[in-house]
């Protein structure tokens, strides 16, 4: 375990440098001049003078060679400084930290809704295969994975906020504001978890050791809960970890639709403004979270199935 963990941590810096280099290169190939966009925001409707654009580009160091700009940014990132935003002039790490709690709250609420719906339905569909519950779970799983999040978001907003006036359409602060975006995100995650739980549990229930436990007269609830479910959760944990990483990445469409002030909306605003340092900092920030979640998922495998071993086996 210690050897595997040390090897993963050893590769972490190289992965982060590679991710940052790719994102930095792609950003600077995108069309649009950040200096010109910022000047147009300051004077809406007016054409930005060429002299002012050149002066702002020089002030933002946009005329420096790309290797120099990347090296300067990487040096700061290694020392805990992701730079400052072109638009606000504030520390990017500070602004990401301010918005992360909102995204974390939305992610946790979405996963809680997804687990509360998917696990009971997935387990029930596997135990009572071919029943109406099984048919319902498969229909819900297909619907949840095929409907885009923005379509579901607008549909729920129109139905529950505009027509029925049960919930606020946009905003942040009250628990009621959390329901619609969490329900939208949780629906897609729930569909994947439900289908995977059903398929994985069906596969485990067909194993020899499960049939042996049943032949010995072990109660069905014990067979499922103590023997089958723990092994069936291995692939579910993988999807759960990836889903959490996706949600912490901001679920940018949902946050934008509902006006949720998280890191996803922050990144979308930065993309429209060509705020390169913000986008670069966001990519690195999320890459660290994704890699940490991947590592946590791998370590969770060892707890769910002690037969699994990490690192090179002894021969």
The token pair at 138 is 């498969």
Q: What is the DSSP letter of 160?
A: I
Portion of the chain with pLDDT greater than 70, in percent: 91
Tokens 């440098």 -> residue: 17
CA distance to 102, 107, 141, per residue, from 248 (Å): 10, 6, 23
Q: Is 147 left (phi over 0), alpha (psi -120 to 50) or beta?
A: beta
Q: Can you spell out the DSSP letters for 35-81?
A: HHHHHHHHSTTSPPPHHHHHHHHHHTTTTS-HHHHHHHHHHHHHTT-
Q: Which of 28-37, 211-220, 262-271, 286-295 has the highest mean predicted lDDT (pLDDT)?
A: 262-271
Q: From CA 225, how far away is CA 119, in angstroms rounded?
A: 12
What does the pLDDT read at residue 206?
82
Q: From CA 229, how far away is CA 63, in angstroms rounded?
A: 59
Q: From CA 166, how far away is CA 182, in angstroms rounded?
A: 15
Task: Select 100-304's CATH number: 3.40.50.300, 3.40.50.970, 3.30.1550.10, 1.10.3720.10.
Answer: 1.10.3720.10
What does the pLDDT read at residue 313?
46
Residue ranges of the domains in the chain?
A: 13-78, 100-304
> Across the chain, which distance is largest between two alpha carbons, in Å?
86
pLDDT value at 302 more than 70:
no
Q: What is the DSSP letter of 147?
A: S
Query: In sequence order, which ranges of 206-275 are alpha helices (DSSP H)?
Result: 208-215, 220-222, 229-248, 252-257, 263-273
Instruction: Specify the pTM.
Output: 0.78
pLDDT per residue over 165-205, tens digit each? 888 888 887 888 889 999 888 888 888 888 888 888 888 88
Burial 242-254 (b: 16+ CB within 10 A, else e): bbbbbbbbbbbbb
The token pair at 111 is 């996963």
Q: From CA 248, how far away is CA 258, in angstroms rounded?
A: 16
Q: What is the DSSP letter of 313?
A: P
Mean pLDDT score of the chain: 81
Within 10 angstroms of residue 72's Cβ, the number of other Cβ atoms is 13
Q: Which of 246, 235, 234 is CA-nearest to residue 290?
A: 246
The token pair at 39 is 């000047």
> Dihedral sign, CA of 152, 158, 164, 167?
positive
Q: Which residues lie below 8 Å from residue 47, measured CB to CB, with a gap of 6+? A: none
pLDDT per residue over 59-92, tens digit each? 878 888 888 888 888 888 888 888 888 888 888 8
Phi and psi (nearest 5°) for 11?
Answer: -80, -15
pLDDT per residue over 152-163, tens digit each? 888 989 999 888
Q: Which of 183, 163, 160, 313 is CA-nearest to residue 254?
A: 183
Contact 237, 230 (CB under 8 A): no
The token pair at 277 is 């340092």
pLDDT value at 308 more than 60:
no
Portion of the chain with pLDDT greater than 90, in percent: 1
pLDDT per residue over 14-30, tens digit each? 888 888 888 777 777 77
């Amino acid at each position: 375990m210690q050897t595997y963990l040390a090897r993963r941590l050893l590769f972490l810096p190289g992965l982060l440098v590679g991710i940052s280099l790719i994102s930095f290169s792609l950003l600077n190939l995108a069309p649009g001049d950040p200096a010109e966009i910022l000047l147009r925001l300051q004077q809406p409707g007016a054409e930005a003078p060429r002299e002012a654009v050149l002066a702002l580009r020089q002030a933002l160091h946009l005329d420096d060679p790309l290797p120099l700009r990347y090296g300067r940014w990487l040096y700061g990132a290694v020392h805990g400084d992701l730079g400052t935003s072109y638009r606000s002039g504030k520390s990017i790490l500070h602004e990401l930290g301010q918005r992360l709690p909102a995204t974390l709250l939305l992610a946790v609420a979405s996963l809680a809704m997804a687990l509360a719906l998917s696990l009971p339905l997935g387990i029930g569909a596997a135990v009572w295969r071919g029943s109406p519950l099984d048919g319902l779970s498969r229909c819900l799983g297909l619907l949840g994975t095929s409907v885009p999040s923005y379509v579901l978001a607008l549909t729920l907003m129109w139905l529950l906020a505009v027509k029925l006036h049960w919930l606020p359409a946009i905003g942040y602060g009250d628990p009621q504001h959390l329901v619609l975006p969490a329900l939208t995100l949780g629906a897609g995650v729930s569909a994947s978890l439900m289908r995977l739980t059903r398929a994985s549990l069906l596969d485990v229930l067909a194993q020899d050791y499960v049939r042996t436990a049943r032949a010995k007269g072990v109660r069905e609830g014990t067979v499922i809960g103590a023997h089958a479910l723990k092994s069936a959760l291995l692939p579910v944990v993988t999807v759960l970890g990836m889903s959490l990483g996706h949600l912490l990445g901001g679920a940018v469409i949902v946050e934008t639709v509902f006006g949720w002030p998280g890191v996803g909306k922050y990144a979308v605003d930065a993309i429209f403004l060509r705020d390169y340092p913000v986008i670069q900092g966001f990519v690195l920030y999320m890459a660290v979270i994704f890699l940490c979640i991947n590592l946590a998922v791998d370590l969770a495998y060892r707890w769910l199935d002690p037969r699994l071993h990490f690192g090179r086996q002894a021969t």
